[in-house]
Structure 1
């Protein structure tokens, strides 16, 4: 049985840990609220931009919409963009991204990995460290993007992926990230970024619409498609950021509850140890009194 001092020190340690986890939960809840507002505001914009491109495709000659980012090539060289966090203590958030990426590679790009034609652009310190340790070919320095998370920083990563595709360094670009559903639930997504996948426009939105393009179709396409790709990656980053704070809030809430349960057990152990010590002292006193009585 541990001594009273050992149990008391353990109680103090767990109590301090519980206070830290409570504080981290409150911080995560505050950040989650802002992140949730950001992704809620971004989703309609991204959806409207996609609908605009679809309507443009449906009301123009396909030959006029030729764009380097829509070029379909055999995927001989592949770039994956796994999005993780810069910090831990968020449950299985980062582990899920790493596992999903590895499973996706094993299912679709195992040969590319063996031939050295698979590259990873890791956004987030945890993914960067994990994949480098596992021997993957990691390109780009985006390990601390979330420490100064802005659209401009996200745009740099998107434009680098676009440049690699445009220059023929890669033939396909895919994003692996956690989509935010609610505080307790994140959904793993594997989303193709490049080449742009053709989509069917909504007949209700494109019916009986006469478009007048100014200054030209080519100019609009050249402006909209890069912006759409930037928004696509930025939206994935916003989703991942909100999901990270939700996962951290859930993990810290669970850790706080576990610390409370452990404190109950430790206090029970402390009381039992203290009771045993008092009982032992009483027995020693009674034994000593009996010895003195017999000796007298």
Structure 2
């Protein structure tokens, strides 16, 4: 059985770790509330804008949908992997990295590059993938304007023909305990799903013209889509870290209780041994 000093040191170490994980849990919980409110408020706007754009672009004839709607043979693919800058958030980052590798395998035989948003994804994926950029600094000041610059760069690369398809891979926030990895096509634009059972179409009044409105909406919609994905991932990160730190705190508490029980048994055994020695010595003197 380990001596009492070793057990006391382990109890102190586990208690210190438990305080750290408990503090990190509370910090993540506070940040999660703000991030959750932001993505919850943004989703209806983003989804409605995308729906409106799809409905309008589906009615355009020929190539009026613009360069971003051009469907061409897929030879060059860019995967935007959205992870976090920090760890200690369970399987949050590893799930995205795993999905990126599966997507890379699905495009076997084609040129696949990766744009990393988050240090953790960049550090791992650069060992096996071609990294064309690292936008980890976005999380230092996560604003629509900063994300819009990245989205514009992606649009320029697609319009120039550098890539035939751009995919987003990120964690979708459902609740604090559940995050779902999504693969979402960024470019070219996904055409609106046709529904043969629909009884009618929405009647829009266009001013100045349908084509001009769609061409101005497309960049805004794409920038909003990327911003929503990063915001979604940001909220998921704090949810995953809060859950991971909660489990770590529970495990540390359980381990500390086990160590305390072991310490008490060892201390009792030491006291019992000392009493037996005293009693044995007293009997020896009497004899």
The 5 Å alignment of 1:213-232 reads 213-214=207-208, 216-232=209-225
Asked if structure 1 preserves the Cα contact closer than 8 Å seen for 2:60 and 2:211, the reply is no
Give me the TM-score of the superposition, normalised by structure 1: 0.91
The corresponding residue for 1:17 is 17
Tell me how far apart the structure 1 counterparts of residues 252 and 162 of structure 2 sit (CA, whole Å).
51
Deviation at 1:205, TM superposition (A): 7.8
Tell me how far apart the structure 2 counterparts of residues 65 and 211 of structure 1 sit (CA, whole Å).
18
Give me the TM-score of the superposition, normalised by structure 2: 0.94
The corresponding residue for 2:34 is 34
Deviations 1:70-92 (A, max 9, x none): 11111110000111011000000
Asked if structure 1 preserves the Cα contact closer than 8 Å seen for 2:3 and 2:266, the reply is yes
- 2:204 corresponds to 1:206: no
The corresponding residue for 2:275 is 282
Moved over 6 A (4+): none
Judging by fraction of residues, say which structure has more strand: 2
| Number of residues of Structure 1 aligned to a counterpart in Structure 2 | 285
The 5 Å alignment of 1:1-296 reads 1-57=1-57, 60-63=59-62, 65-106=64-105, 108-112=106-110, 117-132=111-126, 134-200=127-193, 206-207=201-202, 209-214=203-208, 216-294=209-287
Tell me how far apart the structure 2 counterparts of residues 24 and 61 of structure 1 sit (CA, whole Å).
52
Unaligned runs of 5+ in 1: none
Judging by fraction of residues, say which structure has more helix: 1
Q: Once superposed, what is the RMSD of the aligned Cα atoms? A: 1.7
Asked if structure 2 preserves the Cα contact closer than 8 Å seen for 1:82 and 1:175, the reply is yes
Tell me how far apart the structure 2 counterparts of residues 271 and 182 of structure 1 sit (CA, whole Å).
41
Unaligned runs of 5+ in 2: none
